[in-house]
Structure 1
Amino acid sequence: MVSRGPWTGDARWHNDEVHERWLRLLNRPTGALDYRDEWYDAQCGGCRFWIALSGELGRDWGACTRATSMFDGQMRFEHDGCPSFMVRADRSFG
């Protein structure tokens, strides 16, 4: 394999594979029968401690940075959630 510089994470095939693999780790799949209505407004993408990745994967994925969350330091899907959610002051998402 020929090195073409630093990995940028912009290979579509790789991003699709990562997305599908990480989706298996969801805590609260929005399509699950036991998904509660009150969780809809408490998704990771709206949490003040969620930091989006850069590049294509950052459209859906970010890191949890809340020390009290069971997901601290892990990649999280923007529509997932956890009990440590804290809404952003500006109520933005993503």
Structure 2
Amino acid sequence: MSADRAVPGGAWTGDDSGHNDACHERWSQVQNRRTDQPGYRDDWFDEQCGGCRFWVALTGELGRDWGVCTHPGSAFDGRARFEHDGCDVFAIREDGTFG
């Protein structure tokens, strides 16, 4: 992993593509609802994390696809979640945005 830093000795910027790809691969293994899994219900398509009002996108390149769940009633509260994942306590964003 490279020392991807905004300023030498500064904070991690999250824009190291090798690191981000490895995170994406690792984190994808623990999705709750994969769209390609048998039994994926059509009604879940509109209830993906990226459209939930409690999903907060990460900064940097990882923020394109990943965020953190902040729903206190979710089993995933405080965990990084893929924008196309979902859970049983989805709450739609009032402004209709995604991601």
**Per the shorter chain, which TM-score range?**
over 0.9
Structure 2 stretches lacking a partner, 5+ long = none
Q: Which residue does 2:83 correspond to in 1? A: 78
**Partner SS state of residue 62, structure 1:** strand
Distance 1:52 1:72 in 2: 14
Q: Which residue does 1:13 correspond to in 2? A: 18
TM-score (structure 2 length as normaliser): 0.90
Residue correspondences, number: 94
Is residue 44 of structure 1 aligned with residue 43 of structure 2?
no
Identity %: 60
Q: What is the CA-CA distance between 1:7 and the residue it aligns to?
A: 1.7
Structure 1 stretches lacking a partner, 5+ long = none
Structure 1 residues 28-43: aligned runs within 5 Å: 28-43=33-48
Task: State the Cα RMSD in Å.
Answer: 1.6
- Letter of the 1:26 counterpart: Q
Q: What is the CA-CA distance between 1:8 and the residue it aligns to?
A: 1.3
Q: Which residue does 1:91 correspond to in 2? A: 96
* Greater than 4 Å deviation, 4+ residue runs: none
